[in-house]
Amino acid sequence: MASHLRLHLAAPPPLLLPHRRLHLRRLPRSPGPSLNPARAPLPPLPCLLSRAARPVRAVGGGAEEGAGAGLAEGEVESGGGPRLVGEDSAAFRLGDQSVASWAYFAVILAVVLLALNVLWIDPGTGIGTKFLDAVASVSDSHEVVMLLLTIIFAVVHSGMASLRESGEKIIGERAYRVLFAGISLPLAVTTIVYFINHRYDGIQLWQAQGITGIHELVWLSSFISFFFLYPSTFNLLEVAAVDKPKLHMWETGIMRITRHPQMVGQVIWCLAHTLWIGNSVAVAASVGLIGHHLFGAWNGDSRLASRYGEAFEVLKKRTSVAPFAAIIDGRQKLPKDYYKEFFRLPYIAITALTLGAYFAHPLMQASSYQLPW
């Protein structure tokens, strides 16, 4: 801004002699750039795209904030990859963290879990059991109830995501995030617990659990599926509304493999568990979840296109929905050190949590069995 603002100290007016009028000749306007920012020429489109997306420095030759100015689409920098129009995903710097913010997050998490248990899960005080009984009254079929639960969650979750921009204008970003989580979380818990409790109640369609190598295949597939989490999931302070929630347009890391990692990860998880369980309840759950995430992929693209415009169109050309498709056909230009984008704390945390979740399966199942769901 300092380059556009300059102080001009006016010279003292000339002395005027009595009975004489001084005729001042107007000087011609300089052909140089205007000092008025409102009249200054607009920067080229790539510069606007770069500033609109506000990218940060990528490990593999990405962009620093504002560094993309003047680079046309397709130009590369020293790292070997094209200049980013989106954000660097999974970036986590300890020096940027606030102890107070994470303490606030811990308090919010404790309050949310307590409220979830009292108001929804506990059969004595919560309404979760009544909600599930109302859904189950539609049909005696576990497959139908499982599918209805996933549809209800999908409609609420994707519907509120679609209304996010309008809702945030009315009540603000943080308040809308609290409302979104407060409605979506209980529905998600109910769907998960019902699946755990009734996953073996359906019609057995095949039995693959005794085949050599199937357990290892299912375990590895499930493990990999969690690495396809959408990068916004890593922004825990935004998820809990400690930081102001934003609609991010990510470009690095897992986004180089697929533009919709959450959908791909869910498909992998569903196929693996359906193969292992092999019955109609698992098929119903997978149909509902995969259908929801396919719609979410389309809806997510629409929301990003509405928010970021031409910047998203550039990113869309560089990425793909099908995993590795953009890399294989050359639209995704990988920087030389792209692998460093995965050697970050969020992915280390995912590895630990995924392993922990696997070994905690018996505890999760025991907790689910205590509920009359």
Name the residue ranges covered by the structural domains of the chain: 96-369
* 226 touches 354 (CB < 8 A): yes
With cut-offs at 50, 70 and 90, classify the pLDDT of residue 81.
Answer: low
Listed in sequence order, the residues at least 6 apart from 370 whose beta carbon sits closer than 8 Å to its beta carbon are none
pLDDT at residue number 79 = 56
pTM (global) more than 0.75: yes
Strands (E), the chain: none
With cut-offs at 50, 70 and 90, classify the pLDDT of residue 95.
Answer: confident
Please determine, for residue 255, whether its predicted confidence score (pLDDT) is greater than 60: yes
pLDDT at residue number 144 = 97
Mean pLDDT of 323-330: 96
pLDDT at residue number 93 = 87
pLDDT at residue number 220 = 96
Helix (H) or strand (E) run with residue 198 in it: helix 173-198
With cut-offs at 50, 70 and 90, classify the pLDDT of residue 7.
Answer: very low
For 181-222, write each residue's pLDDT tens digit: 999 999 999 999 999 999 999 999 999 999 999 999 999 999
Please determine, for residue 8, whether its predicted confidence score (pLDDT) is greater than 90: no
* 255 touches 261 (CB < 8 A): yes
